[in-house]
Chains A and B, each alone.
Chain A
Amino acid sequence: MNKNTLAYKQQKAVNLCAAVFLAPVIILMAIFLFYPIVQTFINSFMKWNGISADKAFNGLYNWNKLIHDGDFWRAFLNNVKIMVLSLVIQMPIGILLATFLDAGGKKFNIFKILWFLPLLMSSVAVGYLFRYALATNGGIISSISQLLGGGKVDLLGNQKTALYAVIMVVCWQFVPFYMVYYIAGYSSISSDVYEAAIIDGATRRQYVMSVALPLLVPTIKSAVIMSVTGSLKYFDLVYVMTGGGPGTSTELMATYMYKNSFVTYNMGYGSAIAGGMFILITLVAATIMKVMNRGGDE
Chain B
Amino acid sequence: MANAGVQSSKTKRNKAISWTVAMILAIFWLLVAFVPFLFMVLTGFKQKLEVIMGTAFDFPETFFTENYISIITDPSFWNYFKNSVIVLVLALVILLMFCSFAAYPLSRFKFKLRNFIFLVIVASMSIPIHVTMIPVFQMATKTGLYDTVWVLIPTAVAFALPMSVFIMTGFMEGIPKELEEAADIDGCGRYARFFRVIFPLSTPGLSTLAIYNGVNIWNEFIFAFTLTQSEKNRTLPLALWNYQGQYSSNTAMIMACLTLSTVPMIIMFVILQDKLIKGMMAGAVKG
Chain A positions within 8 Å of B, measured between CB atoms, are: 11, 13-15, 17-18, 20-22, 24-26, 28-29, 31-33, 35-37, 39-40, 43, 50, 93, 96-97, 100, 103, 108, 111-125, 128-130, 132-133, 135, 137-140, 142-143, 146-147, 172, 175-177, 180-181, 183-185, 187-188, 203-205, 218-219, 221-222, 225, 229, 232-233, 235-236, 240, 253-254, 257-258, 261-262, 267, 270-271, 274-275, 277-278, 281-282, 285
Contact = CB atoms under 8 A, between A and B. Distances in A.
Contact of B36 (A43, A103, A137, A140): A140
Nearest to A12: B111
B241 A124 contact: yes
Contacts of A115: 29-30, 33
| In the A-B complex, the 9 residue pairs with the closest CB atoms | A222-B287, A122-B219, A32-B158, A184-B281, A36-B132, A18-B105, A36-B135, A143-B55, A184-B284
B37 interface: yes
Nearest to B126: A229
B114 A32 contact: no
Nearest to A289: B287
A238 B158 CA distance: 24
A36 to B, nearest CB: 4
Contacts of A218: 286-287
Contact of B127 (A37, A122, A253, A267): A37
A222 B166 CA distance: 14
Contact of A235 (B32, B52, B130, B284): B130
Nearest to B43: A132
Given A138-B56, A229-B126, A24 B98 contact: yes
Interface residues on B, range: 35 or more
B99 A25 contact: yes
A134 to B, nearest CB: 10
A196 to B, nearest CB: 20
Contacts of B104: 21
B205 interface: no
A26 B105 CA distance: 13
Give the most central of A93, A100, A124, A177: most B CB within 10 Å: A124
11 contacts: A21-B194, A28-B98, A28-B161, A33-B124, A33-B158, A118-B37, A120-B265, A125-B219, A130-B36, A233-B129, A253-B130
Contact of A129 (B111, B135, B219, B258): B258
Contacts of B240: 122, 124-125, 128
Give the most central of B36, B39, B191, B194: most A CB within 10 Å: B36
Contacts of A125: 219, 237, 240, 258, 261-262
Contacts of A132: 43, 251, 254-255
Contacts of B111: 11, 14-15, 18
Given A15-B111, A17-B191, A143-B57, A274 B134 contact: yes
A28 B36 contact: no
Interface string B57-72: 1000000000000000
A163 to B, nearest CB: 19
B57 A123 contact: no
Contact of B130 (A17, A18, A181, A274): A274
Interface stretch (B18-26, B75-83, B177-185): B18-26
B169 to A, nearest CB: 11
Give the most central of A125, A180, A232, A254: most B CB within 10 Å: A125
Give the most central of B99, B121, B128: most A CB within 10 Å: B128
Given A18-B105, A133-B36, 19 more contacts: A22-B101, A25-B161, A28-B157, A31-B158, A36-B135, A36-B136, A37-B132, A39-B135, A50-B134, A118-B33, A125-B237, A130-B36, A132-B251, A183-B277, A185-B284, A222-B287, A253-B130, A257-B130, A274-B133
